[in-house]
Amino acid sequence: MTINLEYPLTSRNLRPNGTVVDIGRVKVGITELVVMAGPCSVESAEQILRIAREIKVAGATILRGGAFKPRTSPYDFQGLGKTGLEYLRAASCDTGLRIITEVIDPRDVELVAKYADCLQIGSRNMQNYPLLSEVGRSSKPVLLKRGLSATYKEFLLAAEYIMVEGNEQVILCERGIRGLSNELRFTLDLSVVPYLKEKTHLPVIVDPSHGTGNARLVPAMSRAAIACGADGIIVETHYSPKDSISDAIQTISTAELAQLIKELEAVAKAVGQRIPLPLVK
């Protein structure tokens, strides 16, 4: 094996069979597909608990929800912060679902890691190097979202920033890029999936919610993601999307999620992967 000098830690030739990231015994990578679902923002203990229970029934294994929200405007709802983390943890205790939530400040990594099973780095922070280094020193797995105009090289080098600190549990996530002045909010760049699969041993998942900005396109693009080799999806889900404080237009219902997971099982089978059953609590 030769060392890839540009990508010494992410290069596929280090682990030709790929890496499995372990999120509290939920496996991401290789032959199992992961479905992460939940609301854009944690809004209340009741909201997140009800969503958690419904996505578990639908077949998801990881609960997503924002407690620290990076919002374009300082005047928009910024999330419930630590309280939101507590609500997420309570929902996890109730359902057995694992928790993924975003961290946006290097000073909060320790706090968020106490509550979350997986730390999310959002698109705006893909090149926030002090934050990448800090999560690189955490013992929790990291989901790294691609920046809005990041090249594939920049994406992989951002993962190197995390891994060089010792944390090798990194999942890459395509979430749409900014391209053409277009009818959709972003351009979901699925070619990144087979491209990265060839370059790196890390798992790659897809966020069709931000990637299209349109709930009606989420099922089709989720199927496409699995068909081209993604290891799973992360999808904004709510029992009543129209009542979401944020991202309502791109959020699917928990009923739609259940239907979607059935479709994904069929596609996964067609391409030789499977979706695992939810873990027992």
Residues making contact with its own copies (CB under 8 A): 6, 8, 70-75, 104-107, 124-125, 127-131, 147-149, 151-154, 157, 160-161, 164, 177-185, 187-191, 193-195, 198, 211-212, 214, 216-217, 220-221, 223-229, 263, 266-267, 269-271
- CB nearer to its own copies: pick between 63 and 161: 161
How many residues are given for the chain? 281
- CB nearer to its own copies: pick between 1 and 180: 180
Q: Which residue's entry shows tokens 């020193």?
A: 137
Rg (CA), the chain: 17
Tell me how far the alpha carbon of residue 141 is from its chain's centroid: 11
CB of residue 256 vs its own copies: minimum separation in angstroms?
14
CB of residue 15 vs its own copies: minimum separation in angstroms?
20
Contact 63, 100 (CB under 8 A): yes
- CB nearer to its own copies: pick between 71 and 242: 71
CB of residue 56 vs its own copies: minimum separation in angstroms?
24
Residues 6+ apart with CB under 8 A from 89: 99, 115
- CB nearer to its own copies: pick between 160 and 231: 160
* Residue 163: closest CA among 135, 190, 189: 135
The token pair at 32 is: 């199992």
Amino acid identity at 44: S
- CB nearer to its own copies: pick between 120 and 128: 128
Which residues lie across from 34 on neighbouring strands? 232
CB of residue 240 vs its own copies: minimum separation in angstroms?
23
Whole-angstrom distance, CA of residue 131 vs CA of residue 235: 24
CB of residue 29 vs its own copies: minimum separation in angstroms?
17
CB of residue 8 vs its own copies: minimum separation in angstroms?
8
Distance in Å from the first CA to the final CA of the chain: 41
- CB nearer to its own copies: pick between 198 and 280: 198
The DSSP bridge pattern shows strands 21-23 and 26-28 to be antiparallel
Contact 51, 239 (CB under 8 A): yes
